Structure 1
């Protein structure tokens, strides 16, 4: 597999993926996720991904509503495959990597693998639009998204690089805000499984408005 690989569609990705279950972690196509790898099974996963050359790892969340056994929790059916785009050794047995999201996948069934990490047969076909960068950007209500972001920042006394935000394309903005959002696994999964960018932005705005409403005391004026 060449450096800076280009994935044009489902056929460019393997049907078998190693799985990295991580609650609250949301990876989206073309988004970037830093990871600190220290468990032996996931160190082995990274080693294998690099050794085999594909450098791909399937990020997926445990399904907390149906937890299953502690040593093998049940997983949601939809995750996102990421490519190791940065790699560093720490000198104390850890890896620092960055995954760049490629496309979402649906788990068809888990495999009886002899590796210390879990593997599954997956399908990317339901998410073929993920391979088209910036698809659906025009349908995003950017005004509502930025208003919700501003209200959230003000309510939490946080600052942001507004120049960078204003210049960001809609896909990058929606996906970055979704990935960085402080919401729980269920909300993150809903954003992951959103059918398109417009729906993902709408979920993000709705969840933000709900959280802001929870934080208001009686008599507070709604944020505008």
Structure 2
């Protein structure tokens, strides 16, 4: 059984892994292949803590020689799976716990970046699950099928048909090849219903841009 967190359990400072195009959401799983020395050190340090949290966050576009600035909102995940390869890489999985707002970056002697994390705006993430009363599975899957066909993607449709709405919407938000800004919009959507509306709009736009008829999704 995975550990449940309360706001009081979340640390004031968190190590962050800036990675464009990689986005995590609460209760979803994100596999990662860790090989850079600084991130190997980050993982070693995270595993020494009780919470085992790492913050996934997208960086802004780099300008000049300074490290790229971080976007204002990321999501912390707990290391829930870990293995080491013969060549020294770590294969891990993070399970999303709670989104956070970046307060300020913490200076220090660590080779990786750390930030002051502000959690309170996302306390709802710590509940057992989010719901979407307006979710129409048949219409959503119909749009998803057209999007996959237009984008040349494939999937295990039986698993998609059986997944609950939160896992379905959040997993697609993380895995679909949306642009960095689009993934950030999905991350920042306040509730599951808004995220579903956003991903539907993105899929409809992608279909239309490829000359396909979007139909309608009410």
Give TM class, smaller chain.
Answer: over 0.9
Question: Of the candidates 75, 79, 85, which is equivalent to residue 80 of structure 1?
Answer: 75
Q: Indicate whether 1:151 and 2:146 are aligned.
A: yes
By how many angstroms is 1:68 displaced?
4.1
Q: TM-score, normalised by structure 2?
A: 0.92
Deviations 1:53-93 (A, max 9, x none): 321100000012xx344441101010000011111111112
Instruction: Provide the residue aligned with 2:34 in structure 1.
Output: 37
Instruction: Measure the CA separation in 2 of the matches of 1:185 and 1:141.
Output: 27
Question: Of the candidates 74, 84, 88, which is equivalent to residue 89 of structure 1?
Answer: 84
Instruction: Provide the residue aligned with 1:160 in structure 2.
Output: 155
Q: CA contact under 8 A between 1:35 and 1:98: conserved in structure 2?
A: yes
Q: Indicate whether 1:26 and 2:23 are aligned.
A: yes
By how many angstroms is 1:113 displaced?
2.1
Instruction: Provide the residue aligned with 1:104 in structure 2.
Output: 99
Instruction: Provide the residue aligned with 1:5 in structure 2.
Output: 3
Instruction: Measure the CA separation in 2 of the matches of 1:16 and 1:69.
Output: 27
Instruction: Measure the CA separation in 2 of the matches of 1:105 and 1:69.
Output: 27
Deviations 1:160-191 (A, max 9, x none): 32222122111001001101110111000000
Over 3 Å counting, the alpha-carbon distance change for 1:161 and 1:63 in structure 2 is same
Q: Indicate whether 1:172 and 2:139 are aligned.
A: no
The alignment of Structure 1 onto Structure 2 pairs a total of residues equal to 215
Q: CA contact under 8 A between 1:63 and 1:74: conserved in structure 2?
A: yes
Q: Indicate whether 1:194 and 2:192 are aligned.
A: no
The DSSP-based 3-state class of the residue aligned with 1:88 is strand
The DSSP-based 3-state class of the residue aligned with 2:83 is strand
Q: TM-score, normalised by structure 1?
A: 0.90
The DSSP-based 3-state class of the residue aligned with 1:133 is coil
- Where do 5+ consecutive residues of structure 2 fail to align? none
Instruction: Measure the CA separation in 2 of the matches of 1:157 and 1:16.
Output: 41
Q: CA contact under 8 A between 1:68 and 1:74: conserved in structure 2?
A: no
Q: CA contact under 8 A between 1:57 and 1:81: conserved in structure 2?
A: yes
CA RMSD after TM alignment:
1.7
